[in-house]
Amino acid sequence: MENRIEEYTVGELAQAAGVTVRMLHHYDSLELLKPAFVTAKGYRIYRQPELLRLQEILFYRAANMPLNEIAELLGTGNRVERLTSHREKVAKALSEQAAIIATLDRTIAKLNGDDPMTIEDLYKPFPKEKQADYEAWLVATYGQDMAAEIARSRENLSAGKGDILNSQNEQLKGIEAELVTSYEAGCDPKLANLAAHQNWVAEMWGYPCTAAAYAKLAELYLAHPDFIARYETLSEGFSQWLAQAMTLWAERHK
């Protein structure tokens, strides 16, 4: 039963995992990742469980989690809890990035339009102080982008129809506002009523929006920074919630 193949020295493990030997030493000294055992001469020997643990460490570390937090996390046995906690952090980082994109857009727009910003405007996304007139910004800056996105979708799927964008934009705003209300009330995405939204999409496209297409649209939302930025601005975490709700809705209505 000699599985010498499954034993790694520091160097071997380092190479396998794409890290440095120094990092393994470091993690050892922090008690974050100890070798399976140490030889009589003091060589660290790692095995499969340590490799797996290292990979999980690297996964969390890739999300900028401090090592002590990772150690804590790995100590709490439940995998679902770990993932959930991790999800929260990534989601938070996502919202922050969305806010930064929003401010970048606003900054660039103002630089091009020569309208000086107030000091509060400049630093909106960085400190904890959020809120403010995102609504106004949404209409002013992203209204146009949104129209362009929709026009793009329509072109993709059915080239050229009339331009009734503005009235439909108004409609969308109402629909979205309702959904945001549901979201902020803690409504389960399974229970969201997306009939109005799906109808709106169908109207935009100029032909029926099937359940499958609607589900695809959810994917598209998540793949498109513009959409994420837009929805995150409406409410933190809303983009994820909406996409999930759309997917679930499509499943129930296919």
Q: Scan residues 6-65 and list those touching DNA (CB under 7 A).
A: 9-12, 20-23, 25-26, 30, 39-44, 61
In the region spanning residues 198 to 217, those forming contacts with its own copies, defined by CB under 8 A, are 205, 207-208, 210, 212-213, 216-217
Q: Which amino acid is it at 13?
A: L
Q: Out of 111, 177, 191, 195, point to the residue binding its own copies (CB under 8 A).
A: 111
In the region spanning residues 201 to 240, those forming contacts with DNA, defined by CB under 7 A, are none
Q: Does 30 bind its own copies (CB under 8 A)?
A: no
Partner in contact with 34, chosen from DNA, its own copies, none, beta carbon below 5 to 8 Å by kind: none
With contacts defined by CB under 8 A, name the span among 21-29, 32-40, 100-108, 174-182 that binds its own copies. Answer: 100-108
In terms of CB distance, is 156 or 174 closer to its own copies?
156
Closest approach of its own copies to the CB of residue 108, in Å? 5
With contacts defined by CB under 8 A, name the span among 154-162, 170-178, 180-188, 191-199 that binds its own copies. Answer: 154-162
In the region spanning residues 59 to 78, those forming contacts with its own copies, defined by CB under 8 A, are 59, 62, 64
Closest approach of its own copies to the CB of residue 41, in Å? 25
Closest approach of its own copies to the CB of residue 40, in Å? 26
Report the alpha-carbon distance of residue 124 to residue 21 in Å, rounded: 42
Q: Out of 16, 52, 66, 157, point to the residue binding DNA (CB under 7 A).
A: 66
DSSP for the chain reads: ---GGG-B-HHHHHHHHT--HHHHHHHHHTTSS--SEE-TT--EEB-HHHHHHHHHHHHHHTTT--HHHHHHHHHS--HHHHHHHHHHHHHHHHHHHHHHHHHHHHHHHHHHHT-PPPHHHHTTTSSS---SSHHHHIIIIIHHHHHHHHHHHHHHHS------HHHHHHHHHHHHHHHHHHHHTT--GGG---HHHHHHHHHHHTS---HHHHHHHHHHHHH-HHHHHHHHHHSTTHHHHHHHHHHHHHHHT-
Token representation of residue 77: 């046995």
Residues that bind DNA (CB under 7 A): 9-12, 20-23, 25-26, 30, 39-44, 61, 66-68
